[in-house]
Amino acid sequence: MLSWLARKLRGSAPTAYLTHPDCALHDMGHGHPESPDRLAAIQDRLIAAGLWDHLLHVEPPLVRREQLALVHPPRYVEALDQASPSQGVVHMDPDTVMGPHTLQAAWRAAGAVVKATDLVIDGTAANAFCAIRPPGHHAESCKAMGFCFFNNLGIGVAHALSRGIERVAVADFDVHHGNGTEELFHDNPRVLMVSTFQSPFYPYSGELPMGPNMHNVPLKAGSRGEEFRAAVEREWLPALQAFQPQMLFISAGFDAHREDDMASMGLVEDDYAWVTERLMEVAAEYAEGRIVSVLEGGYDLSALGRSVAAHIKVLADL
């Protein structure tokens, strides 16, 4: 359960849930693990768990070009515009496919994180979860990869900084290293990133942090909750407490679940609830409770739905 301070800071403001039908239109082909079914599985589980009606449902706008430009140069955005097919598909890399509706979904996904950031900063929501796709934490400033086109969370972080938040922390527990987010912020003293990920594993980065504000904790294949929790307590929490962030963003990837065959880790729903509680405590102490959580990976549909429900249950203090 949350501390008394966390409850006080939450007040009566709800947890916002941001998604949009556009995000389900992006389709990388039959059998691709990053499928529209992921969002349906999350919604179904939230309804079944009795959480759906407790959330503030917000339909996000499309991101604006000037907001994209906070992390992506206009030439990159224009290159994606030119590559977007009117029919068929275009491969940005062997696993990252752009179809006719991909860019609409990507613009909507980034817009959701910007909107969530505003809702939380303005106090309309205590915190927020963005159920969006395509995901974003592999997207670098000028490179689409790893199912990602825009770095959704990175755009939200940059937007928060532009709104006067002095120090922003990013926590990434996806099974893959968030190379894109690290590339965007490794030289920014106003941003701290803490992460865990399976290593060696795609994208084969992160073992050597790019800057002193990057606290990366590689975990061996087969690691379970004990190793994950020890990494958080040993590496994440001291770094976060020393940094004293005024806002937290979570790259919420659930593909380290033991039932997800995308990787070889052994986390379960209780581990995701536990780490969410720890991050909520940091946010309560230093950031007035401000958290924006952004969906990244998670490809076993049942495990994904259950894990997101556990995560949101803690965010919403239900």
State the Cα–Cα distance between residues 127 and 61, nearest whole angstrom.
18
Question: Taking all residues of the chain, what is their mean pLDDT, rounded to a whole number?
Answer: 96
Per DSSP, helices labelled H in the chain are 4-10, 22-25, 37-48, 65-68, 74-83, 102-122, 152-162, 179-185, 225-231, 237-243, 269-286, 301-315
State the Cα–Cα distance between residues 105 and 103, nearest whole angstrom.
5
The DSSP element (H or E) to which 192 belongs, if any, is strand 191-198
- pLDDT given for residue 151 in this prediction: 99
Contact of 120 with 106, CB cutoff 8 Å: no
Kindly tell me the sign of the dihedral angle through the C-alpha atoms of 239, 244, 192, 232.
positive
Mean pLDDT of 36-50: 98
Whether pLDDT at 4 is above 50: no
pLDDT, tens digit, for every residue of 195-244?
999 999 999 999 999 999 999 999 999 999 999 999 999 999 999 999 99
- pLDDT given for residue 139 in this prediction: 98
- pLDDT given for residue 12 in this prediction: 76
Residue showing tokens 């938040």: 165
Whether pLDDT at 16 is above 80: yes
Mean pLDDT of 88-98: 95
Q: Rounded to two decimals, what is the model's pTM?
A: 0.96
Mean pLDDT of 264-281: 98
- pLDDT given for residue 11 in this prediction: 61
- Residue 298's pLDDT band (cuts 50, 70, 90): very high
Quick one: what percent of the chain has pLDDT higher than 90? Answer: 96
Whether pLDDT at 252 is above 60: yes
Kindly tell me the sign of the dihedral angle through the C-alpha atoms of 91, 97, 99, 104.
negative
Catalytic residue selected from 138, 159, 257, 311? 138
Mean pLDDT of 173-198: 98
Whether pLDDT at 268 is above 70: yes
**Exposure string for 248-277, b = 16+ CB within 10 A, e = fewer:** bbbbbbbbbbbebebbebbbbbebbbbbbe
- pLDDT given for residue 115 in this prediction: 98
Catalytic, 54? Answer no
The DSSP element (H or E) to which 249 belongs, if any, is strand 247-252
Mean pLDDT of 299-314: 98
State the Cα–Cα distance between residues 237 and 243, nearest whole angstrom.
10
